[in-house]
Amino acid sequence: MKTIQAYRFALDLTCVQERVVLAHAGAARVAHNWALAKVKAVMDQRTAERSYGVPDEQLTPPLPWSLAGLRKAWNTAKPDVAPWWSDVSKEAFNTGLDALARGLKNWADSRKGTRAGRPLGFPRFKSRRRATPSVRFTTGAIRVEPDRMHVVLPRLGRLKLHESARKLGRRLDNGTARIMSVTVRRAGGRWHVSFTVEVERAERTPTRPQSVVGVDVGIKHLAVLSTGELVDNPRHQVAAQQRLRALGRALSRKTGPDRRTGRRPSKRWERAAARLGRAHARVANLRRDSLHKLTTRLAREQGTVVVEDLNVTGMLANRRLAWHIADAGFAEIRRQLAYKTSWNGGRLLIADRWYPSSKTCSGCGTVRAKLALHERKYQCQACGLVIDRDHNASLNLAALAAEYDTAGSGPVAARGADQKTRVRGQVAVKREPGTAPAGQTGTVPPQGRTTNRVLTKAH
C-alpha cells in the first residue's frame, strides 16, 4: 500500500548555516510579496478600467494565478527586483510563489462555493518579523547521509540532525520510500527538516481484528473506551500555566514593537519572546506525543474504532471550556485515527454529529429528552441502569458498529435532515445517494433525504 508520509527531525545548525537558511526563507518571502503586489495591481487596474467603460477585450491582460504563470512573471522581473537572485536556490523563490498560487486558488474556490469550510480571505503580505521562516526543496541533491545524523540539501549543504534518521534511512536503502520534497522550517525556537515521502507500507492486521471499541473523548478523561478503560487527560497546558504566566508577565515589562509608531522591539523583548515561544512549543510537543501514543495503540490493537463527529468549532464558543477543549485536542485525535487505522488494516467509523450517544441508555435503548452537562452519572428511568455518562456513550458508539454492518448488507432506513433524537433501530449509513451500501457494488436508488446519517466509514 502506497501512502504519503512525513518524517520530521530537529536540526542543529551553525550560525553560518542559520544565516543561509534565513536568506532562503527571506527570498521566498520577497517572491511571494512581489507576486502578490503584481496580482493586486493588475486586479485594481482592471477594476478601474471597467469603471471607465472600457470593453472587456481591451482591459489590461490578467496575470495568471497558476504557479507556472507566476514563475514566468517572476523570472522576467527578478534581475531588477532581486539582483541577488543567484545567491540562493531557485527553490526558495518557488516556495513563495507556490504558497501564493495555492492561496489565490483557495480564495477563489471559497468565493465560488466549491471549497468546503469557513470562507477564506485574500492572501496577505508576509512580514519579515511575524512570518514563520520556511523554505521547501523539490529538486536537486537531497539525501540522508550513511551516518543517519546528517542530511544534504541543495545550496544548504550538509546539515547536522539533532536526532537519528535511521527509520527514514532504512526505507530509502530498501527502496520502499521515495523523497518527494523537503521543508526546512523554524518553529518554537528550533529549526526542523520535514521529508514528504511516498512510502510503500506493508499490509498489517490489528492485534484483535474482530474487536470493536467506542471512544468517547472528554475533558475530565481524555478518552473513555467501551472496554471500561479510562485514559487520563494530561492537561499539559494547565501544568505549564504558572510558567507561561510568569514568562508572559516578564515579556510585558519589556519594550516591544509598535506598528503605529514604527518602534522596533528591544533585544531583551526578543529574548523574552523566544523564551515564551519555547515554553509554548514544549506544551505542544507534550500534547502531540500523548495523542500519538493513544491513537497508535488503538489503531494497532483494535479492528474497528468508533468515534463521534464533534463540532469542535462550536464547542470552542463556550468560553468556560474552550481553553480545556483546545488543550485536549479532540480534532487531532480523530485526524490521527483516520490514517493510522488505514495503515494498520483496521477501520474507523464516525457517528453522526446528531447521534445522542450520551442520552441513549446502553442497556435498553431508551433516549432521554435532556441531559445536563453537570450530570456525570446516567440514570435510566426505564430499566434503572446507573452508569458513568462517558462510559455509557462509548458503549453506544461501539454498538453502532454492529448496526453499521447489518445496514451494509441490506436495505437502509434513511433518516431525514432534521436534528431530532434518533430512536434505536433507525440506523442509517452515510453515503451519497445512488451508491451501494458498504461491502456491495453497483448502485441503489436513494431512499429519502440523505443529508444527515447516523454512521459513516472514514475509509
Question: For residues 342 and 411, what is the distance between their CA atoms, to the nearest angstrom?
Answer: 27
21 has which bridge partners? Answer: none
Q: What average pLDDT score do residues 249-259 get?
A: 93
* Residue among 91, 98, 216, 352 flagged as catalytic: 216
User: Pick from 332, 343, 305, 253: which is nearest to 5 by CA?
Assistant: 343
Residue 456, pLDDT score: 56
Assess whether 390 carries a catalytic annotation: yes
pLDDT tens-digit series, residues 427-448:
433 433 333 333 333 333 333 3
Question: How many C-beta neighbours within 10 Å does residue 139 have?
Answer: 11
- Nearest CA among 179, 158, 194, 165 for reference residue 20: 158
How do the domains of the chain map onto residue ranges?
2-15+133-200, 20-112, 210-231+281-457
Check whether 425 has a pLDDT greater than 60. no
Torsion sign, CA atoms 428, 429, 435, 438: negative
Tell me what pLDDT residue 459 has.
53
Q: Which residue matches cell numbers 469542535?
A: 312
Distance separating alpha carbons of residues 120 and 109, to the nearest angstrom: 9
Over residues 329-372, the pLDDT tens digits come to 999 999 999 999 999 999 999 998 888 889 999 888 888 888 88
Report the pLDDT value the prediction gives residue 46, as an integer from 0 to 100: 93
Cα–Cα distance for residue pair 359/284, rounded to 1 Å? 33
Active-site pick, 98, 308, 327, 352: 308
Catalytic pick among 390, 403, 418, 432: 390
State the average pLDDT over residues 246-271: 93
pLDDT score recorded for residue 334: 93
pLDDT score at 413? 30
Is the distance from CB of 11 to CB of 184 less than 8 angstroms?
Answer: yes
- Render pLDDT for 184-242 as a digit per residue (tens, 0 to 9): 999 988 999 999 999 999 889 999 999 999 999 999 999 999 999 999 999 999 999 99
Band of pLDDT at residue 458, cut at 50, 70 and 90: low
> pLDDT tens-digit profile of 377-396?
988 888 888 999 999 999 99
Provide the percentage of residues in the chain whose pLDDT is more than 70: 88
